[in-house]
Amino acid sequence: MLTNRPKTKILVDGGDPDETLRVKKLLGLVDGQTTNPSLIAKNPEIQQRIASGHSLTSQEEKDEYRKIVQAISPIVGDAGVSIEVFADLDTTAEEMFSQGEEMFAWIPNAYIKYPCTHEGLRAAEMSVRQRVRVNMTLCFSQEQAGAVYAATKGSKEPVYVSPFVGRLDDRGEDGIDVVKNIKTMYRNGDGHVHVLGASIRHLDHLLSSFALDVELATVPAKVLEKWATSKFPMPAKDFTYKAVGANGQVLKPIPYKELDLNRPWQSFDIRHELTSKGIQKFVADYRSTLKRSA
Ligand code: E4P
């Protein structure tokens, strides 16, 4: 059991209520949960349906998603459950927002995930006006986080932004630098955007997120299990993160940029290859559950 909890809220990154329950028993607490189309596609019940040749229509897939988040919702604490809209590269803000509004009504503690794209940011702008809580996902750059800040300014609810650490590491760049740079940039802000460290692949990512004082971190069960079996280590005062990739290669630093958070959000350069690739992967994983059904 976790006796000395970090300031950072701990979320489970997954799509299976039983797994969330298991982690809660192990840690004694779970503050929240993030889901995404790839994780939902891996849900054991959905996998079982597909394996038994059961057909899943898009309505059934949505019903399954709702059942999963409704089962997770009461297990977790005040960081809520993040639910991702189904969006491809052509989905408009209006389409995303309409899904977001519907999903937001599924549970009392929902956060709606939109991608850090132009349309995703427009959907976020609409959402915060209607007090629909948002989690801006697939964030890979400081500029994207700057745009999230500017697009959601005035939100009455905390807004989450999710920088994806592991996927930047995967291509040889230091993902932790992006988290650090966003935290530094937000020091000049009003605190309405909370940083949620995502795509956490190992204990060093987790400890470094704690050391950077991120408000939240979403972590796969297997990393949390490793943290528990290692007796819940915390970063020492002089903790330094070793920016090395999975094969031991030194990761390329990502430099800090001076960005004015008071600029209109449309003026930030939000393009990032990994955001588009991430959307395409979510679409493919979502469709695979529909396609493989008989
Ligand atoms: C965050 O909300 C995402 O679900 C997640 O952290 C993605 O991690 P991955 O890069 O390991 O898929």
Q: Which residues have C-beta within 8 Å of that of residue 102, sequence separation ≥ 6?
A: none
pLDDT at 54: 81
pTM here? 0.96
Q: Whose CA is nearest to atom 2 of ligand 1?
A: 34
Quick one: average pLDDT of 83-92?
A: 97
Is 9 annotated in the active site?
A: no
**Which residue's CA is the closest to the ligand 1 atom numbered 1?**
198
Q: Taking residues 45-61, what's their average pLDDT?
A: 86
Asked if 133 and 157 touch (Cβ cutoff 8 Å), the reply is: yes
**What is the arithmetic mean of pLDDT over 228-247?**
93
Ligand 1 pocket list (CB less than 6 A): 13, 34, 36, 137, 162, 164, 166-167, 198-199, 218
| Mean pLDDT, range 61-78, rounded to an integer | 96
Judge contact between 27 and 233, C-beta under 8 A: no
User: Residues 6 or more apart from 78 whose CB is under 8 A from it?
Assistant: 9, 31, 32, 109
For residue 36, report the distance from its CA to the centre of ligand 1, in Å. Answer: 8
Q: How many CB atoms are located within 10 Å of the residue 6 CB?
A: 18
Give the nearest ligand 1 atom to 35 CA. Answer: 4
How far is Cα 121 from Cα 147, in angstroms, rounded to an integer?
8
Query: Could you report the per-residue pLDDT of 116-164, keeping only the tens digit for each?
Result: 999 999 999 999 999 999 999 999 999 999 999 999 999 999 999 999 9
Nearest residue (by CA) to ligand 1, atom 8, is: 199
Mutate to test the pocket of ligand 1, among 10, 31, 209, 218 (most ligand atoms within 8 A of CB): 218
Atom 7, ligand 1: residue with shortest CA distance: 199
Question: Considering all CA atoms of the chain, what is the largest pairwise distance in Å, rounded to the nearest integer?
Answer: 56
Instruction: List pLDDT tens digits, range 180-202.
Output: 999 999 999 999 999 999 999 99
- From the CA of 13, how far away is ligand 1's center (Å)? 7
Q: How far apart are alpha carbons 104 and 66 in whole angstroms?
A: 10
Residue of 199, 200, 214, 282 to test ligand 1 pocket, by largest number of atoms within 8 Å of CB:
199
- Arithmetic mean of pLDDT, 241-263: 95
The band of 290, judged by pLDDT with boundaries at 50, 70 and 90, is: confident
Structure tokens at 53: 């040749």
Alpha-carbon dihedral angle through residues 113, 115, 119, 125, given to the nearest 10 degrees: 50
Q: pLDDT value at position 97? A: 98
Report pLDDT for 288: 85
pLDDT tier, 253 (very low <50, low <70, confident <90, very high otherwise): very high
pLDDT of residue 291: 55
Q: How far is CA 117 from the centre of its chain?
A: 15
Q: Which residue owns the Cα nearest ligand 1 atom 12?
A: 199
Per-residue pLDDT, averaged over 69-79, amounts to: 97
Q: How many angstroms separate the CA atoms of 34 and 196, rounded?
A: 10
* Band (294; pLDDT cuts 50, 70, 90): very low
Catalytic: which of 9, 113, 180, 183?
113
Average pLDDT, the chain: 95
pLDDT digits (tens, 9 = 90+) for 5-48: 999 999 999 999 999 999 999 999 999 999 999 999 899 999 98
Average pLDDT for 43-66? 88
Distance in Å, CA 37 to ligand 1 centroid? 10
Q: For the chain, what percent of residues have pLDDT higher than 70?
A: 98
